[in-house]
Structure 1
Amino acid sequence: MNRVCLALPTNRACPATITALHAEAAYAVRNFGADVQLLILDSTDARTRAAHADTVAALPPEPGVTVHHLDEERQRAWLRRTIARSGLPDPDRLLGLMLPPGVSYGACTNRAFLLAASLGCHSVHRRDSDSTYQVHHGEPVFPVHHELPWLGRPAADATATVTRTDLDPALAHRPVALAGASFIGELSVDIAEIRRLDEAVYHDVVGLWAPGDWPEDRRRALVEESFTGAGTDPFTGDRSTLTVVDPMRVDMCNIAFDRAVYERVPLPPATDTIGSDYFLLHLVHDAGLPGILHNRHIENFHTPERRTDTGFPAYQRRFVKFLLSMLHFHHVYDRMAAEGAAGLLGPDHRVRPDRVARLVRESTTLDRTENIWRLDRVDTAYRKLGGRYARFADQLVSEREELLDQAARDMEDFAFLTEAWPSLTEAART
C-alpha cells in the first residue's frame, strides 16, 4: 500500500480546513487505496490548538487515515531526539533552523518532510490553512486525484492517463518528482491594496523581484504574471500535462513531492520571508525531473490579521525580505539551470545535496549593491503611497543594514542545513 503524508502546517485557526483535509485523505484511500498519514503541524496559541484538537477528535473514523496533530512542544521534542540520533555537529543551530521562533514557511514544511520520512511515507502533499477546495457539481475538487498515481514512477507510465504529454522522450525513464497545480482567487501575496492605490507603484515594487539586469519589457511581463496563480476561472473538468513543470505554474498550497526530492534537499529555513518555500520547484525543474501539472486549483483567500496594525508591518517586512532574497536565489537558479541534470542528479536520478549546498554557499558572497538599490526603490515607492506604507518606510530606514546582512545569513543557514539534510533524514527514518 502506498503510504503518503497529507500535510497542513498552520499558525492560525482553521478547523474547517482540517475537516476538509480529512475528507481529501478519505478520498485518497477510497479511490487509490492509499495509506494516508494526515499531519497537522500546529503553531497556534493554546486556545486555538485546543479548538483544533476538538475538531480532530470529532473527525469520523476513516480506515486508512491516521491523524497526527502535533503542537510545537511535541515537534521540538521529536526534533531534539532526531538531531541527537543523527550525531551532527551544532545541534542547537539545527534545532533553531528546524523550529525557529519566527514565522518560516520553509521550516514548517521541512518538519513535515522529516516527519513523513519517520512515518515511512513515499510522498508529501502540502496544503495551506488560508485556502480551500473548489466545488464542482456539489463535490470538492481534491488535488490528490492527480498527485497520487504516478509520483516516484517512471514518467512513461503516466503517458496513457494524462490529458497531454509535453515531455522530451529522452526524459521518459526518469521518475515523476512532483505533481501540482496553482490557485484561483486573491493574489498569493497580500499586496492587492498597493495596486488599488497606485498601479505604477505596484509595478515598481513587484518588479523588484526580477533580476536587476532585466530589461523593462521583461520586468513588466513578470509583474503582470506575478502572484496571480491560475486567475479566477473555476474548475470545469480535469486537464493534466506530463512535463518538466514551470515553477510559475504551481503553488506551494497545492503541491506534492516524491521522497527522492525532499529526503535529499530541504527548503530554505529563512524566517519572516515569504516565498522561502518555493526552492524545490526550481530544483526539480532545473534538474529536468518530470512532473504532472494539473488544473485542480485551490481557492486562495487572505486572513485579516495581515492588515491589522501589528500584522501589516510584519507582513510587509516579510515581503521586503523576499525581494532581498532574490539577489541570492537568482544566482542559484541560474547556476542550477547551467548545471542541469548532469550536475544536479546522481546516476539514480536523485538530486545531489552537495551540489546544491555549494551553489547556495556561493551566493552568500555576492555584492549587495543590487539589494541596496532594491531598498531605495521600496523606500521611494512606499513613501508615494503615504499613510501606513510611509510609516513602514520609516521603520525600514533603521533596519537597512540588518536586512542586508540577514539576506546573506539566510543563505548560509540554508547551505548548512542542506549539508546536514541527508543525515537528518536518515535519523528520522530510524
Structure 2
Amino acid sequence: MRSVCLTLPTDRECVTTLRLLGEEAAYAVGHFDVEVHLLVLDSSAPETRAAHRAALGRLALPPRVRVHHFDEEEQRAFLRQALAATDSPKTELLLDLMLPSEPSYGACTNRAFLLSLALGCVSVHRRDSDSRYQEHDGEKVFPIHHELRALGARAADLIGDVDECDLTPREAARTVSLVGASFVGPPSVDIAEIAALDPEAYHDVVSLWAPADATEEERRALVAESFLGAGNAAFEGDHALLTRVDPMRVDMCNIAFQDVHARVPLPPATNTIGSDYFLLHLVHHAGLPGVLHNRHIVNYYTGERRTDSGFLAYQTRFVKFLLSMAHLHPAYAALARTGSDLLLDDGTVDAERVAAIVRRAAVVDPAENLDRLDRVGDAYRRLGGRYADFADRLRPSRESWPAEARSDMEDYALLIDIWPALVAGARRAGPPGPHAAQEEI
C-alpha cells in the first residue's frame, strides 16, 4: 500500500473547504489501495486556526486517512530539524526562504513537499482554500481519481486506460510525474475589473507577462487565453490525455506530483503570484509524461480582495509576477533548449543542471523591468481611482522591485542546490511531534 499526501496550504478561513478535502481523502481510500495523509499547513490567525483544528477534529474519516494540521510554529521547528541535517552555513537564510514572513505561493508548497516526504508519501496532491469541487449526477468530481490512477506508472502501461495519448515511444517509456487539470469559474488572476473598465489597458497590462521578444500577434493570443482556465463548462464525463502537459492547461489548485518535487523545489519569491508554476514547465520541457484530465476545480474569490488593503496586496503580487517573467522566460527557454538532457540516466531530473539554468536567468538587463513598471503605471493611471493611486505607489519601488526579482532567482538557485540535502534531512526528521499524534484520525 502506498502513502500519498493530499495537502492544503492556507492563511485564511476555509472550514468548508477542509470538509470537502476530507471527502476527497475518503474517496481516495475507498477506491484505491492507498493511505492518505491529509496535510493542512495553517498560517492563518489564531482564532481561525482554532476553527480549522475543530473542523478537522469533527471529520468522520475512514481508518486509512490520517489528518495532520500544523501551524507555522510547528512547521518552523520541523524545518530547523531538516536544515540541521544539511550542515549549511546559510541555515537562517534557507529557513526564511522556506517560511518567509510575507506570503509566498512557492514556499508554502515547498513546505508541503518536505512534510509529505517526511510522512513517507510517494506523491503530493495540492488543493487551494478558495476552491470547491464540481458535481455530476449528484456526486462530487474529485481530481484525485485520475491522479492515483496514473502517478508513478510507466506511461506506456497506461495507454489502454486513457482516452488519448500523444507521447512519443521514448517519452512513453518514462514514469508519469504529473497529473493535473484546471479550474472553472472566475479567472485565476483577479483583474477582470480592469478589462471591464478599459479593455485596452487590460491588454497593455496582461501582455506584459509575454516574453520581451514576443510579436504583437503572440501577445494578443496570450492575453486572449490568460487566466481563464477551462472557462465555465460543466463536467459531463471523464476525459484523460496522456501527454507532456502544457503548463497553460493546468492550475496549481488542481495538481499532483510524484518524484519531481523531491528533486527540485518551487521558487520561494514572496508577494508574487505565479511563483509556484516552475515545475510544470520543467516537467513539460524535460519530456516527462503526465496526464491532463477534465476534473476541473471550481474557483471563487474571497471577499478580502475587495477591501482596500486586499486590493493593494493583490496588485502588488500581480505586478511582481510581471517582473518575475523577465527572469522566468529566459529560464523556460533554456529548459526548452535542453529538453530531455534535463534528465539523468535513470529518468529523474538533473537538479544541478536546473540550478545552473536558474542562476543564469537571474542576470538580465534591468531595463526590461523598468519598462514593465512604466507601462503598468501608464495603464493604471488611465484607469483612475485606486488604480491610479497604486500607480503612484509604484514610483518609489522602481529600482527596488526589479532588484528583488533578480534576488528571488538567485535565492531560488541556492534553494535548488540545497534541496537534495534538505529532502534527506526532512525524511530523517519525520513530521512535527506534539500535535501529529493527537491529530491523526
Common fold: TM-score over 0.5:
yes
5+ unaligned residues in a row in structure 1: which ranges?
none
Give the Cα separation in 1 of the matches to 2:408 and 2:305. 23
Give the 5 Å matches for 1:295-314: 295-314=294-313
Contact conserved, 1:88 with 1:423, CA < 8 A, in 2? no
Contact conserved, 2:19 with 2:59, CA < 8 A, in 1? yes
Q: What SS class does the counterpart of residue 275 from structure 1 fall into?
A: coil
Give the Cα separation in 2 of the matches to 1:269 and 1:89. 19
Correspondence for 1:350: 348
Q: What SS class does the counterpart of residue 24 from structure 1 fall into?
A: helix
Q: What SS class does the counterpart of residue 159 from structure 1 fall into?
A: helix
Residue type of the alignment partner of 1:311:
G
Correspondence for 2:278: 279
TM-score, with length taken from structure 2: 0.96
Correspondence for 1:252: 252
Correspondence for 1:417: 415
Correspondence for 1:205: 205
Give the Cα separation in 2 of the matches to 1:221 and 1:61. 46
Q: What SS class does the counterpart of residue 314 from structure 1 fall into?
A: helix
Residue type of the alignment partner of 1:178:
L
Correspondence for 1:385: 383
Give the Cα separation in 1 of the matches to 2:280 and 2:176. 13
Kindly provide the CA deviation profile for residues 364-390 of structure 1, in whole angstroms up to 9, marking residues without a partner as x: 221111111111100000000000000
Correspondence for 1:32: 32
- Displacement after TM superposition at 1:88 (Å): 2.0
Give the 5 Å matches for 1:100-139: 100-139=100-139
Give the Cα separation in 1 of the matches to 2:138 and 2:374. 50
Q: What's the Cα RMSD here?
A: 0.7
Residue type of the alignment partner of 2:424:
E
Give the Cα separation in 1 of the matches to 2:61 and 2:210. 48
Correspondence for 1:44: 44
Give the Cα separation in 2 of the matches to 1:69 and 1:123. 18
Residue type of the alignment partner of 1:372:
L
Give the Cα separation in 2 of the matches to 1:363 and 1:165. 33
Correspondence for 1:14: 14
Correspondence for 2:158: 158
Residue type of the alignment partner of 1:24:
E
Correspondence for 2:260: 261
Kindly provide the CA deviation profile for residues 40-71 of structure 1, in whole angstroms up to 9, marking residues without a partner as x: 00000000000001101101131110000000
Higher relative contact order (CA 8 A, sep 6+): 2
Contact conserved, 1:9 with 1:129, CA < 8 A, in 2? yes
Contact conserved, 2:267 with 2:409, CA < 8 A, in 1? yes
- Displacement after TM superposition at 1:86 (Å): 2.1
- Structure 1 runs of 4+ aligned residues shifted over 3 Å read none
Correspondence for 1:361: 359
1:241 matched to 2:241? The reply is yes
Give the Cα separation in 1 of the matches to 2:218 and 2:172. 32
- Displacement after TM superposition at 1:213 (Å): 1.3
5+ unaligned residues in a row in structure 2: which ranges?
429-441
Give the Cα separation in 2 of the matches to 1:139 and 1:33. 21
Correspondence for 1:59: 59
Give the Cα separation in 2 of the matches to 1:14 and 1:152. 31
TM-score, with length taken from structure 1: 0.99
Percent of aligned pairs sharing the same letter: 60
Correspondence for 2:425: 427
Give the Cα separation in 1 of the matches to 2:230 and 2:61. 35
- Displacement after TM superposition at 1:33 (Å): 1.7
Correspondence for 1:334: 333
Q: What SS class does the counterpart of residue 365 from structure 1 fall into?
A: coil
- Displacement after TM superposition at 1:419 (Å): 0.2
Aligned length: 428
Q: Which moved more, 1:274-283 or 1:73-82?
A: 73-82
